[in-house]
Amino acid sequence: MSAWGKRQARVDTKPSTEPITTNGATNSTTSSATNSTTSGPKPSAGPKKPAWGAPPQAPTAAAETIAATPPERSSSAYPTLHEAMENLSLNSAVAQPVVRSRSAQPTARRSYLHSAVPESAVLTPIRRPDQGGKAGKVVDVYTNHFRIQVDDAIINQYDIEIFMIGRDKKPRLARKDERWETVQRIAKREKNFPIIWYDEGKTIYTRELLTDFTKPLQITFNLNNEEKTFQFQVLNLVRQEKIRDIFDFIEKKTAIRPRDSIRIIETLFKQRARNDLIAIRNQFYDRKQKLDDLGDGRGMANGFYQALFLTQGGPTLNINLAFTCFYMPLNFVEFATKYLRKDITKGLSEIELQGFKRIVRNMLIETLHTGRDIRYRIRGFGLPANQIMFVRGASDDAGDASLGEKISVADFFAEKYQKLKYPHLPCIDGMSGTQKRANWLPMEFVKLVAWERSLKPLDSVQRALVTKKSVIKPDQRYNQIMNVVQNRQFDSDPYLKELNIKVETKEMLQLKARILPPPEVKYRGQGNSDVTERVNFGKWTIRNRFYTTRDISKWGMVYFGSKPTENVIQTLKDFETQLPPLLQRYGILIKSKPITIAKPPTKEEIEKTLVNASKEHWQLTVVVLNNTLDNVYDYVKQCGNQRYGLVTQCVSYQSLEKNIGKLDMYVQNLSQKINAKMGCINGIVNLKAALSRPSNEDLFMFFGADVTHTTCSAERPSIAAVVGSRDPTNSLYAARLCEQYPKLGRCSMEIIKDLDAMIIDLLQVFARSCANRLPNKIVFYRDGVDDGQYQKVLDNEVAKIKQAFRTIYVNRAQPKLTFIIVKKRHNTRFFVYDGQMTKNVEAGTVVDHQITHPSQFDFYLCSQAALMGTSRPALYHVLHDEIGFTSDEIQQLTYWLCHTDARCSKAVSVPAPIHYAHLAAYASRTFDFDDNLDQGSDNGGFVENIENVSMDDIKTKLMVLDSKIANDMWFV
């Protein structure tokens, strides 16, 4: 019997018209839908979880312990690491033992954070070294920027206060929607009140002085089916801003970006739109539209993005399409049923309820039974309505509550309103402002507030639906953007007229772009001679052998999935037979037949199989996964990369089955990954040829860095990934990863704290691979930085890189450094009109004028050929340049680096080192993390107060991979 057929059995492994509030209720904060224990593994929400590694049945919510007493720390589901890197030797990359830092989980709901990372401005972003690039073919393109004209003016900024006057005549801070409506009504009611624009917080702007309106003004109106009284008062004149500052910045008379003036004009642009649309920062959504149902109580909305840019050509308005998800305004019972994919009226287990709490915490809800819309945020869940008891008529601070008549929430609602259909369901504990007392709300008597934005992750099916809706062809995107512009009716906007702002809306801004020439890619031909492949429209064909390869003497093919049928066995045999000759076509010689193993997808079998593979020194392990959960793939990679140092290449059985009759292209894609993971080079691009004056004495090294943030939480760390080239051709790379844990109640930050240690290690790897030579020129690409963080990154990370240089180079000449920010998350798009239709720009299109920074060194580059939708260029901002690149050189070099990605034979959207850093950070999700939850914390993972986050608040731990693959490209 074939090894593919040898199988083991699968291992499945206060009462009034308001909701009930309690002071001395007999309920704890833990639901007793079932009696829960407070120790053991972290539970997950949703229906009964399938066996580990079994095929997916229905999405489940994330888990959180909500017991009234602190839970014991759960043991990790996976074995933990025994070693980690903290201090790097200057002479070797030997790992030193380290104790992982612990931190408490952040508390309560999120607010804004101030970063206390030092900003010294010792370094400043460099200016553009010339008038822009000249290389390449010049083409006309359109961009979704619209030129605006604005008069010089002095704008007065005032602080205001808005209170709601309660029934007890006591003021309380008004909510956001209440504040907005109050300002609009006051401005309309009061005679001679000037035109003002409001930032939805505590600031208004106006050209006039408000000396006649300093007394408190009260107004009463109906809002959310309830008559309310509000008090509005202008407090003081804070400052006067000159719009002239904008033009001084554009004309290079000042290097200080006029953020206040920009905020004033952007706030002005939002005013009329805010009356009709849902506004989320710079995004706007029509509240009349029907959401695209995502199946779990959420829906996707389409809208537009709008922002002011100060560019070389003057101020522009950038408008693009936008998409986001909102919760649907469903009855809470219906929402819970949809989200959990089960009929919750039959009850919820403690595990399901614990996980569901994590999802809905801080969600905004409103009552259905009071005749007026009373809004609360969800704090958690309590006992079922028929079990929560309170003292009828007792006040919050009554000392004699125990002497009164007790009644259940269910009985109270039956007397006061109507009998509950589901008295056995847990009550919602609603928060109102800073109120700490419990407000018990039966699930069936509340609904979700409309247009509450959802930031929770989507599952794979939902992501596919969102992608289908949001991936739009260039001609359709162009037309839809122009429709947005026309519908905005800027010419008739009374707020814009106040500053005599005019928007040129007839057409998008037209400008000159250039198409850079692509590189040539070298492979090996017959007799080991160099063979060149030409790049056409961003891609090329591999018709020869990889540049360097390694023979494989021992390898294995492992199947994890349900018991293989005869068809599955035959497909695996065909793949086993066809793979070696197809790999040999590219120079990878397999000298033996594989060891074939079929196992159920359990952790025990995965680990056992890969342990044996490591002991038997397999050079390659091909893993076929048949309809398994993501955690099977994750555990395979954790074992292979982090523990046992195995080169693993996972293959989806479904993809294999679909391509079994035409494996050529499928195996070509696999072969590129396999060859790179084995430490070999696929193709070579002569990067020095991108320079105008290349020198054989120069030894370049390229770095890429990225920081990924899961949530503002200490449950999992942020991951900083840094990759560095490690050979003279800059084709091979090594990666280093660092966990960054936030301190109690705080959020992670944008700075890579241990960057110096990571740079030191990667420089040592480079030297060992280059005959103990160190690079004299280093180009560092940095991703994941917001606009407002450029100076902090420049001040701190460049300093750490320089510190690493001093440590390694000691008394030798220090290398020259160029530091570049790479940004993909922006809203600038380019379009080409060929006389018949609007199309995407070609690969290699670069723009470095008119819509770029007035003085600093930045450019847009669209290096990839778009397969679907509208291509998105990357924005590159050169912050520091000691090498002295011209515009043409850095643009050409960056473009050519986009052709060095080992995973494919096409130009990618960002330079390879940046893509590798992203891949390494993403792959780290499979690694083993200590359970970092604070034992006494039950807080939902958000930050409560405004905090100053400093470098000392971040605890770090360098991650360790098995030494056999640590310096290879395991992440591709």
Residue 14 or 129, more confident: 129
Superfamily of structural domain 113-142+683-958: Ribonuclease H-like superfamily/Ribonuclease H (3.30.420.10)
Are the C-beta atoms of residues 45 and 415 closer than 8 Å to each other?
Answer: no
> Per residue in 60-75, pLDDT tens?
333 222 223 333 333 3
Q: Is the pLDDT of residue 83 over 80?
A: no
Helix (H, G, I), strand (E, B) or coil at 525: coil
Output phi, psi for 860, to 5 deg: -100, 135
Query: How confident is the model over 16-26, as a mean pLDDT?
Result: 44
Are the C-beta atoms of residues 877 and 820 closer than 8 Å to each other?
Answer: yes
- Token pair in block for residue 133: 């690039």
Name the least confident of 151-155, 305-309, 679-683. Answer: 151-155
Distance of alpha carbon 84 from alpha carbon 96, whole angstroms? 6
- Token pair in block for residue 63: 């888990």
Domains 113-142+683-958 and 249-328+457-503 share a fold: no
Task: Let me know the angle formed at the C-alpha of 907 by 906 and 910, rounded to the nearest 5 degrees.
Answer: 145
Sign of CA dihedral 632, 637, 643, 646: positive
Q: Is the pLDDT of residue 886 over 90?
A: yes
Distance of alpha carbon 550 from alpha carbon 126, whole angstroms? 44
Q: Is the pLDDT of residue 402 over 50?
A: yes
Output phi, psi for 550, to 5 deg: -140, 135
Are the C-beta atoms of residues 240 and 260 closer than 8 Å to each other?
Answer: no
The highest-confidence range among 323-337, 431-445, 922-936, by mean pLDDT, is 323-337
Task: Give strand pairing partners of 503.
Answer: 148
- What is the pairing mode between strands 648-652 and 620-626? parallel
CATH class (in words) of the domain with range 20-72+329-449: mainly beta
- Token pair in block for residue 915: 């893509």
Q: Which residue has the tokens 């986050």?
A: 949
Distance of alpha carbon 619 from alpha carbon 602, whole angstroms? 23
CATH code, residues 249-328+457-503? 3.30.530
Which residues lie below 8 Å from residue 169, measured CB to CB, with a gap of 6+? none
| pLDDT for residue 340 | 93
Are the C-beta atoms of residues 200 and 176 closer than 8 Å to each other?
Answer: yes
Q: What is the pTM of this model?
A: 0.85
Are the C-beta atoms of residues 702 and 725 closer than 8 Å to each other?
Answer: yes
Give the CA distances from residue 178 to residues 170, 200, 201, in Å, rounded to whole numbers and listed in that order.
16, 10, 11
Q: Is the pLDDT of residue 953 over 90?
A: no
Name the least confident of 20-24, 573-577, 649-653, 925-929. Answer: 20-24
Task: Give strand pairing partners of 521.
Answer: 533, 685
Are the C-beta atoms of residues 815 and 778 closer than 8 Å to each other?
Answer: yes
Domain ranges of the chain: 20-72+329-449, 113-142+683-958, 249-328+457-503, 549-677
Are the C-beta atoms of residues 199 and 155 closer than 8 Å to each other?
Answer: no
Three-class SS string for 851-895? CCCCCEEEEEEECCCCCCCCCCCEEEEEEEECCCCCHHHHHHHHH
In this structure, the number of other CB atoms found within 10 A of the CB of residue 873 comes to 24
Q: Is the pLDDT of residue 669 over 60?
A: yes
279: part of which helix (H) or strand (E)?
A: strand 277-280
Mean pLDDT, the chain, as a whole number?
85
Are the C-beta atoms of residues 429 and 386 closer than 8 Å to each other?
Answer: no
Query: How confident is the model over 551-569, as a mean pLDDT?
Result: 95
| pLDDT for residue 373 | 82
Superfamily of structural domain 549-677: Response regulator (3.40.50.2300)
| pLDDT for residue 949 | 60
| pLDDT for residue 784 | 81
The confidence band for 243, taking pLDDT boundaries of 50, 70 and 90, is very high
Distance of alpha carbon 319 from alpha carbon 317, whole angstroms? 6
| pLDDT for residue 758 | 97
| pLDDT for residue 709 | 72
Give the CA distances from residue 36 to residues 5, 73, 225, 665, 934, in Å, rounded to whole numbers and listed in that order.
43, 15, 41, 53, 19
Q: Is the pLDDT of residue 507 over 90?
A: yes
Distance of alpha carbon 820 from alpha carbon 891, whole angstroms? 11
Task: Give strand pairing partners of 408.
Answer: 389
Give the CA distances from residue 739 to residues 9, 130, 217, 403, in Å, rounded to whole numbers and listed in that order.
39, 40, 53, 55
DSSP notation for 159-199:
EEEEEEE-TTS-EEEPPHHHHHHHHHHHHHHSTTPPP-EE-
Q: Is the pLDDT of residue 518 over 90?
A: yes
The amino acid at residue 588 is I
| pLDDT for residue 718 | 85
Give the CA distances from residue 4 to residues 554, 561, 577, in Å, rounded to whole numbers and listed in that order.
18, 12, 13
Helix (H, G, I), strand (E, B) or coil at 247: helix
In this structure, the number of other CB atoms found within 10 A of the CB of residue 52 comes to 20
| pLDDT for residue 955 | 83
- What percentage of residues in the chain have a pLDDT greater than 90? 69
Largest CA distance in the chain: 98
792: part of which helix (H) or strand (E)?
A: helix 790-809
In this structure, the number of other CB atoms found within 10 A of the CB of residue 896 comes to 27
- From the number of C-beta atoms within 10 Å of its C-beta (0-12, 13-18, 19+), residue 382 rates as buried
Q: Is the pLDDT of residue 400 over 80?
A: no
> Per residue in 895-941, pLDDT tens?
999 999 999 999 999 999 999 999 999 998 888 755 333 333 343 33
Query: How confident is the model over 44-58, as a mean pLDDT?
Result: 44
Q: Is the pLDDT of residue 28 over 60?
A: no
